[in-house]
């Protein structure tokens, strides 16, 4: 495990449907944590996790035994717990000193409730200023709160969607986007922030109040 207090890039692999191309992100990670059955995807891409966290109800038992025999740390929790396996894994990454946490496998599968709970992890205040993102293929999901500015990661032509969460997002300002916002309000439950486009990189978004979910989708070649 990386030393506590040292900047760490962590990847948490949840039990959803990670994209094959997401495996390329593992090379830059200082710490890889499997949330229960996320270990199966890591096994499929030939990468051992540094830690497996969860109630171990969905990881194949033979894989769990194999990882334990190889010296991979196993942190087992009871099934009746107050946090999802993914949340426990993110918390463990932050405790280990992570200042960037990328969550793979946050989407897909049969459980919409798990997908939504994974998105809600972006809103948690207890991550000690660690930057969280959900990634699947060409899509990255982050959140930005009132009083802050977020520089977008995409290039020209990429699609950006801004969705208010919990309440209206006020004083929204964008830079480098086709449909410019200058101190405007995006209302909760309305779709005005859907499918903007980056026209000048680096682009950015800021707001005075509320929370925005920021979804960036990479433009497909030739589109």
Q: Which strand (E) or helix (H) includes residue 42?
A: helix 38-44
Pairing of strands 8-13, 98-104: parallel
C-alpha of 194 from chain center: 19
Pairing of strands 31-35, 139-145: unpaired
Please tell me the predicted confidence (pLDDT) of residue 201.
Answer: 85
Q: Which residue has the higher pLDDT, 108 or 138?
A: 138
Return the number of other C-beta atoms located less than 10 Å from residue 144's C-beta: 22
Phi/psi at 81 (5° precision): -130, 170
C-alpha of 11 from chain center: 9
Q: Tell me the mean pLDDT in the region 159-174.
A: 97
Q: Which strand (E) or helix (H) includes residue 120?
A: helix 112-120
SS3 content of the chain, % helix, strand, coil (to 5): 20, 35, 45
Percent of the chain past pLDDT 90, that is, above it, reads 86
How far is it, in rounded angstroms, from Cα 89 to Cα 154? Answer: 27
Residue 30 has pLDDT above 80, yes or no: yes
Residue 220 has pLDDT above 90, yes or no: no
Q: Tell me the mean pLDDT in the region 201-207.
A: 94
Residue 221 has pLDDT above 70, yes or no: no
| Residues 78-91: tens digit of each pLDDT | 988 999 999 999 99
Q: Which residue has the higher pLDDT, 172 or 2?
A: 172
Q: Which residue has the tokens 């929790």?
A: 77
Q: How many residues are present in the chain?
A: 223
> Maximum Cα–Cα distance for the chain, whole Å?
57
Q: Which residue has the higher pLDDT, 161 or 2?
A: 161
Please tell me the predicted confidence (pLDDT) of residue 5.
Answer: 46
In this prediction the pTM is 0.92
| Residues 110-143: tens digit of each pLDDT | 789 999 999 999 998 767 788 999 999 999 999 9
Of 58, 127, 64, 114, the closest CA to residue 86 belongs to: 114
Query: HSE-up of 43 (CA within 13 Å, CB side)?
Result: 17
């Amino acid at each position: 495990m990386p030393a506590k207090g040292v900047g760490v890039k962590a990847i948490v692999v949840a039990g959803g449907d990670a994209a094959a191309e997401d495996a390329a992100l593992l090379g830059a990670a200082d710490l890889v944590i499997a949330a229960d059955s996320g270990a199966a995807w890591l096994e499929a891409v030939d990468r051992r996790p540094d830690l497996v966290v969860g109630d171990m109800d969905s990881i194949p038992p033979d894989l769990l035994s194999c990882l334990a025999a190889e010296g991979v740390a196993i942190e087992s929790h009871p099934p009746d717990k107050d946090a999802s396996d993914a949340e426990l894994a993110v918390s463990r990454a932050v405790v280990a000193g992570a200042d960037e946490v990328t969550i793979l496998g946050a989407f897909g599968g049969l459980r919409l409730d798990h997908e939504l709970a994974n998105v809600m992890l972006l809103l948690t205040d207890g991550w000690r200023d660690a930057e969280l993102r959900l990634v699947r293929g060409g899509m990255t999901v982050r959140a930005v709160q009132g009083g802050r500015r977020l520089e977008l990661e995409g290039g020209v032509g990429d699609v950006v969607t801004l969705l208010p969460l919990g309440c209206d997002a006020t004083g929204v300002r964008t830079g480098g986007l086709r449909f410019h916002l200058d101190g405007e309000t995006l209302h909760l439950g309305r779709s005005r922030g859907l499918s903007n486009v980056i026209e000048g990189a680096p682009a950015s978004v800021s707001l005075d109040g509320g929370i925005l979910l920021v979804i960036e989708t990479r433009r497909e070649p030739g589109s």
